[in-house]
Amino acid sequence: MKNIVILGGGTAGWMAANLLQKRWRQKGVNITVVESPDIGIIGVGEGSTPLLKEFFDSLDISESEWMPQCNATYKNGISFNNWSTVSGYESYFHPFPCSLDFATFGLLYKYTALRRSGVDVLAHPNRFSLMAGLTQKKLAPLPAENFPFHFQYGYHFDSVLIGKFLRGKAKESGVSHIEGTVETVEQDSDGNIKALKLKNGDILSGDFFIDCSGFASILLQRTLKVPFLSFSENLFNDSAVALPTEIEADAPVETLSTALTNGWAWKIPLTNRFGNGYVFSSQYCSPDEAETELRAHLGILDSDVDARHLKMKVGRAQESWAKNCLAVGLSQGFIEPLEATALQFVYSTIDQFAQALEQGDFTNEHREAFNDQMNANFEGIRDYIVLHYKTNSRSDSQYWIDNRENQKISEHLRAMIECWYGIEDMQEALTRLEIGSYYSQRSWTCLLSGVGIFPRQENLAVPSASDALKAKEDLEYVDHFISGCSMNFESHNKFLGR
């Protein structure tokens, strides 16, 4: 394989180009990106998981180089507000992992197990999370040099700027860039893609093609006829409306996800603005109604700031790699941005594809194993997203009631919910179901305990005097530990040069 053609720029296309160029440049592989100046970039959001740091580290690109050029900030996790109406559980924080979790999360598991069994003890995850403590104080996830512990974190960024930055880095490294719009796709007698014919008459041949053409999926779905499997029965949202607002003086270090009437609103801090949006279902409200509610939520009803409306195609291709074509990004599939997993999919897809090729070239065995893994990734993350909706306790709209009562969920998710209510060990269940690689016991426990979903809500047992004393001592230890550790971190603003 000597010539790889990537159709589509944007973040997905340029991430793919940079990763493969870094990996295969010394093997004589030529990489070309063709993108149309006539087709706009959707942008997959402005937040990430810790895998984006792994991506930049793999390219030897420092934060001091890329973050200022992309208006980027640090991200410790996501706060979920108003998904629950349970007293004391109206909000919770989903933190990224850190190497010190062992010191406090064992106690969270202990007290959630007691609370699940009907004992009246504190079991809110925020109290046990160092990352939640750092976030509350707006501290960046970068410890002092004399505090040698590892903290995973993500970023917030301008998705258009990050695409431009990655384009520049790819071109510097030798990736070819062609501006043009595909008119037709040529295939050989076996159905493999042979070339792309552009509107200007140029023909772009290749040995392998990567489809980063967005929801249009020009190569994988439109040309190779790979079916699209919708997740609409599991996830109702299909639309979004977005608009910016002014940034605050003290930059938050978290994404905010706030439940609204027919979906949820995101609030993401960049260095120059907040990115805001409302993800909703068009089956329950119109785009105009959603925009009005978002503006009211943000307090900018009379603002002249223009809103941007988007449609989402939620689901995945039946297979990500077919014949000599790999789909990456929106052309491969999309799950709503509740846990900011879009770029995680891009990075993991390219990384695992490269590994599969290096191990077995184009053999059916390696391609099938790769596709199975990609499909499992999508479904594992989908199930965790569905759990947010399944465990909501709102009854202010039919949207939330229907989400809670929806029985069209996977057997894996059904088993995890039964595990929680049946007081089974969560880690044992994740291991038995082989789904712990998508979200860990920590994440499942944070969500389920964070929204206050427990088997017994009333007539709770009072802890014995000795158990109550032990709980008091444990919480004092946790508070002291988090307070002490927090002294090794500095403000988010300082790291952003503000």
What residues act catalytically?
A: 75
CB-facing half-sphere around the CA of 284: CA atoms within 13 A: 22
Q: DSSP per residue over 284-296, as a string?
A: TS-HHHHHHHHHH
Q: How many CB atoms lie within 10 A of CB 466?
A: 8
- Token match 């007539």: residue? 459
Work out the angle between the directed axes of helices 342-360 and 10-24 (0-180°, nearest 10). Answer: 30
Whole-angstrom Cα distance, residue 104 to residue 325? 46
Sign of CA dihedral 460, 466, 472, 478: negative
Whole-angstrom Cα distance, residue 152 to residue 284? 37
> Running DSSP on this structure, what letter comes out for residue 228?
E
Q: Which of 48, 157, 146, 49 is nearest to 97 (CA)?
A: 49
**In contact, 297 and 258? CB cutoff 8 Å:** yes
CA distances to 130, 306, 316, 356, 375 from 267, in Å: 22, 17, 26, 37, 29
Element (H, E) at 184: strand 182-187
CB-facing half-sphere around the CA of 271: CA atoms within 13 A: 19
Question: Dihedral (C-alpha) 332, 337, 341, 342: value to the nearest 10 degrees?
Answer: 40
Give phi and psi for 308, each to the nearest 5.
-115, 125
Q: Which of 161, 142, 183 is nearest to 69 (CA)?
A: 161
**In contact, 262 and 284? CB cutoff 8 Å:** yes
Work out the angle between the directed axes of helices 465-486 and 105-116 (0-180°, nearest 10). Answer: 150
**In contact, 220 and 317? CB cutoff 8 Å:** yes
